[in-house]
Amino acid sequence: MNSTDTITLPEAYDAMRVFLERLRQREGGTSEELERLIGALKWADGTPVDPAAWQDWLLAVEVAKSRRAS
């Protein structure tokens, strides 16, 4: 990937979940809190299992975008 590549918000959201899964695997342990978070970030029938997590994700995207614009 380079700086001109783009992905959709759902792809970025899923990338965050994959990142957390890989982090958990690399650390070699299990964190109950991390397991719950990863579970909440999964998709079911085209929507996030936890709709609040999706809303939090969208807010985080807006915050990150506003920081890049500054």
If one counts the domains in the chain, the total is 1
At 25 the pLDDT is 82
Residue 60 in domain: yes
Is the residue at 22 inside a domain? yes
What is the per-residue burial (b if ≥16 Cβ within 10 Å, else e) of 12-44? ebbeebeeeeeebeeeeeeeeeeeebbebbeee
Domain membership of residue 38 (yes or no) is yes
Domain hosting residue 31, numbered range: 15-69
Q: Looking at the domain assignment, is residue 59 inside a domain?
A: yes
The pLDDT of residue 29: 63
Contact 43, 68 (CB under 8 A): no
Residues 12-66: pLDDT tens digits? 999 999 988 888 887 776 678 888 888 888 999 988 899 998 999 899 999 888 8
Name the band, by pLDDT with cuts 50, 70 and 90, for residue 3.
Answer: low
Question: Has residue 2 been placed in a domain?
Answer: no
Return the pLDDT at 1.
64
